[in-house]
């Protein structure tokens, strides 16, 4: 009995593809819970916890890099089946790993297969007709999953143990495997509508855009990795910290909905700049002393609202610059660089539980991404306007 395929432009196709792209490195969405589990119930130090998630991220970088050379040469569905199945086995096997050195290597391996899934997933999302909706849906799912897991994981850990977070990772991968049979086939390379931008300018703008994505992800993931410990370090009750992160994470849904609903009708640049400014304010609020529960919640709300909006708009620009999906796969790589480097940077700037230096560094890093993004986003908006005008002439 054959499974009925979902049409390519159906909302469920966008949802399923975005969910599968998310599942490869799903731990990023509830990173504070992973860090808290490693540094709490599993007995690793704060610095060791940051290094484990950093190695997991660098494995994602390796996998996404390999995917750059695969996306134009392979059929994405058989490859995704294989890599998801291997990732599920590794995530489940982590339940029996308790040695620090083994944990580092095992999570690096998990990151490698997860990165392959993410890289292939990004290339498929980029080939859909509406990249703003595709990547907005991806970020919408990421923040929904993050809030749900952060809220429910403490109860699950109390019922099972601190390793429950790795069971959650495996569950998302298994669900992705269940979605795969319903997805339509897509061509390996969609070469429609090459950019009218001169090649040197295209290369320059692509480089600036990749740097902007990397720099923003470094700062965001650095704050995200330690936001739970920042709250605990300010003597905020642990239950209040978990509830606050979960509740404010729901604002990420609103940020992700901006490109899903509005697309690029009102331009992307203003949304990106506004999101970066809100991210800077968030890092500065978290650095204040004393950090009150109100300041803590406000800071997280600003970050969680702006993060998905900024990333989805930048990824949509990437998809429009190269419809084959390869540049979007490169964006997955540089995003992995940022997500892996953020916790590593944060762990190197910790000072015996003092997060001030780390947060100031994150604020400056956010700000630098704002300057990097100006030229490529403006150029792509201009190119898109010219192409649209030529179609009606």
Q: Indicate which CATH number applies to the domain containing 70.
A: 1.20.1250.20
Residue 191 above 60 pLDDT? no
Residue 91 belongs to a domain: yes
Burial class (CB in 10 A: 0-12, 13-18, 19+), 192: exposed
Residue 8 belongs to a domain: no
d(CA 71, CA 333): 13
d(CA 105, CA 98): 12
Phi, psi (5° rounding) for residue 354? -95, 120
pLDDT of residue 388: 46
Give, as one character, the DSSP assignment of residue 349.
Answer: T
Residue 216 belongs to a domain: yes
Tally the domains of the chain. 1
pLDDT of residue 47: 77
Contact criterion met (CB below 8 Å) for 338 and 216: yes
Residue 192 above 60 pLDDT? no
Residue 59 above 80 pLDDT? yes
Burial class (CB in 10 A: 0-12, 13-18, 19+), 257: middle
Residue 329 belongs to a domain: yes
pLDDT of residue 2: 61
Give the closest residue to 369 by CA, choosing from 390, 349, 342.
342
Residue 197 above 70 pLDDT? no
Place of tokens 């849904």: 253
> How many CB atoms neighbour CB 12 within 10 A?
12
Residue 43, token pair as written in the block: 């007995």
Contact criterion met (CB below 8 Å) for 196 and 383: yes
Q: Minimum mean pLDDT among 81-90, 129-138, 264-273, 332-341: which range?
A: 264-273
Reduce the DSSP state of residue 263 to 3 states and report it. coil
Contact criterion met (CB below 8 Å) for 161 and 154: no
Neighbouring-strand partners of residue 354 = 351
SS3 content of the chain, % helix, strand, coil (to 5): 80, 0, 20
Beta-carbon-side half-sphere exposure of residue 39 (alpha carbons within 13 Å):
22
Residue 386 above 60 pLDDT? no
Place of tokens 């991806």: 138
Q: What is the pLDDT of residues 358-371, one digit of tens each?
A: 999 999 999 999 89
Residue 285 belongs to a domain: yes
Domain housing 141? 13-391
Share of the chain above pLDDT 90, in %: 27
Element (H, E) at 224: helix 199-233
Residue 4 belongs to a domain: no
Name the range with the highest mean pLDDT among 44-53, 146-155, 301-310, 349-358: 301-310
pLDDT of residue 264: 62
Question: Cα(first)–Cα(last) distance of the chain, in Å?
Answer: 49
Residue 37 above 90 pLDDT? no
Residue 219 above 90 pLDDT? yes
pLDDT of residue 193: 42
Residue 114 belongs to a domain: yes
Residue 2 belongs to a domain: no
């Amino acid at each position: 009995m054959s499974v009925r395929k979902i049409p390519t432009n159906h909302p469920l196709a966008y949802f399923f593809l975005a969910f599968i792209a998310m599942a490869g490195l799903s731990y990023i969405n509830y990173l504070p819970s992973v860090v808290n589990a490693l540094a709490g119930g599993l007995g690793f130090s704060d610095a060791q916890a940051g290094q484990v998630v950093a190695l997991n991220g660098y494995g994602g970088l390796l996998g996404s890099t390999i995917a750059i050379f695969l996306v134009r040469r392979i059929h994405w569905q058989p490859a995704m089946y294989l890599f998801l199945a291997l990732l599920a086995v590794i995530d489940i096997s982590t339940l029996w790993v308790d040695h620090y050195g083994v944990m580092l290597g095992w999570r690096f391996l998990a990151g490698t297969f997860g990165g392959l899934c993410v890289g292939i997933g990004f290339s498929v999302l980029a080939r859909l007709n509406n990249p703003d909706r595709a990547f907005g849906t991806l970020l919408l799912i990421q923040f929904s999953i993050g809030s749900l897991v952060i809220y429910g994981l403490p109860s699950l850990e109390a019922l099972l143990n601190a390793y429950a977070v790795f069971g959650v990772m495996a569950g998302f991968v298994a669900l992705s495997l269940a979605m795969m049979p319903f997805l339509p086939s897509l061509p390996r390379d969609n070469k429609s509508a090459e950019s009218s931008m001169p090649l040197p300018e295209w290369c320059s703008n692509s480089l600036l855009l990749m740097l902007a994505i990397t720099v923003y992800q470094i700062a965001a993931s650095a704050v995200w990795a330690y936001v739970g410990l920042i709250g605990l370090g300010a003597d905020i009750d642990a239950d209040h910290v978990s509830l606050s992160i979960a509740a404010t994470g729901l604002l990420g849904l609103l940020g992700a909905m901006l490109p899903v609903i509005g697309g690029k009708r009102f331009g992307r640049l203003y949304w990106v700049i506004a999101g970066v400014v809100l991210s800077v304010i968030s890092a500065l609020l978290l650095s204040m002393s004393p950090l009150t529960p109100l300041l803590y919640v406000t800071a997280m709300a600003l970050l969680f609202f702006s993060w998905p909006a900024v990333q989805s708009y930048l990824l949509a620009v990437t998809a429009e610059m190269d419809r084959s999906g390869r540049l979007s796969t490169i964006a997955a790589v540089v995003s992995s660089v940022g997500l892996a480097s953020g916790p590593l940077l944060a762990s190197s700037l910790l000072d015996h539980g003092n997060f001030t230096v780390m947060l100031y560094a994150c604020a400056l890093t956010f700000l630098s991404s704002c300057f990097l993004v100006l030229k490529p986003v403006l150029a792509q908006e201009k190119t898109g306007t010219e192409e649209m005008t030529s179609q009606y002439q």
